[in-house]
Structure 1
Amino acid sequence: MDFMTAVRTCLSKYVDFSGRARRSEYWYFALFSFLVSLAASIIDAVLGTDYDGATTGGLIQTVVGLAFFLPSLAVAVRRLHDTDRSGWWILIGLIPIIGWILLLVWFCTDSKADNQYGPNPKTGPTGHPGDYPPPAYGSGQYGG
């Protein structure tokens, strides 16, 4: 999955906590969120809305953080689903250092085979790489 596809997917599924997300989808969206947050912080500094250099962020950065909270949470839960874990495991991040390291390891873990959260997004329901989403019925592929 490329950068723009990952960003579009995450923003279009901004409150969709079901299904699975590939590593590339998660990490590209994390990169996009970081870059937008960096740009918002620069805009805050230029406009003077950064609350005198406070560590809490400025007005623009706060709005961006609120806008990206649910999409980031949703893609993190879908990423955990891809590693065959419940989305509730995101709460382990509340444990300082150990929880963060564990989440980082899980977010870097490769996709698991088809599980209760859906087919493997790397191979799709047919088990062939690159066949996700499945071909339309009657397209002639795989005898359809």
Structure 2
Amino acid sequence: MRKYATFKGRAERPEFWYWALFTWILSMIAYTIDTAVAGGGNPMTRSLVVSNIVVLATAMPTISVSIRRLHDVGRSGWWFLLTFTVIGALLLLYWYVRPGRTVRLADSV
């Protein structure tokens, strides 16, 4: 959460995937709380208040780390907009699992 809304720079694979794991675990906990409060019931009519709060709280850092991950593999952050298409999401997943580019000393100056 240190880089909550930092879109510049790079995010290496561990940073990206640990964030993905953290948000997944947090989402599962929130869903469990929502289910316990609603007493089970029909999943279509269940109120997901806690889950929605978690999604809203983690949306900006998720977008941020995703864009920084794209920078690490040599892509522009604008490629993140492919998230809204099925084939684009698969392409993004491919880029997210690829190793990042190594930075030479001359590149970082």
Distance 2:76 2:85 in 1: 17
| Match 2:7 to one of 17, 37, 46 | 17
Distance 1:34 1:56 in 2: 20
Counterpart residue type for residue 38 of structure 2: G
Task: Output the TM-score relative to the length of structure 2.
Answer: 0.87
Q: Structure 1 vs Structure 2: percent identity of aligned residues?
A: 37
The structure in which a higher percent of residues are helix is: 2
Counterpart residue type for residue 98 of structure 2: T
Verify: 1:109 aligned to 2:98, yes or no.
yes
Structure 2: gaps spanning 5 or more residues? none
Report runs of 4+ in structure 1 exceeding 4 Å deviation: 49-52
**Residues 20-59 of structure 1 mapped to structure 2, 5 A cutoff:** 20-48=10-38, 52-54=42-44, 58-59=48-49
**Residues 118-133 of structure 1 mapped to structure 2, 5 A cutoff:** 119=108
Counterpart residue type for residue 30 of structure 2: A
Residue-by-residue CA offset, 1:18-55 (whole Å, 9 max, x unaligned): 10001010001101100000000000011128895228
Task: Output the TM-score relative to the length of structure 1.
Answer: 0.67
For the pair shown, the structure with the greater C-alpha radius of gyration is 1
Structure 1: gaps spanning 5 or more residues? 1-10, 120-124, 126-144
Is the CA contact 2:38–2:46 (under 8 Å) kept in the aligned structure 1?
A: no
Is the CA contact 1:41–1:50 (under 8 Å) kept in the aligned structure 2?
A: no
When the two structures are aligned, how many residues end up with a matched partner?
Answer: 107
User: What secondary structure does 1:12 align onto?
Assistant: coil
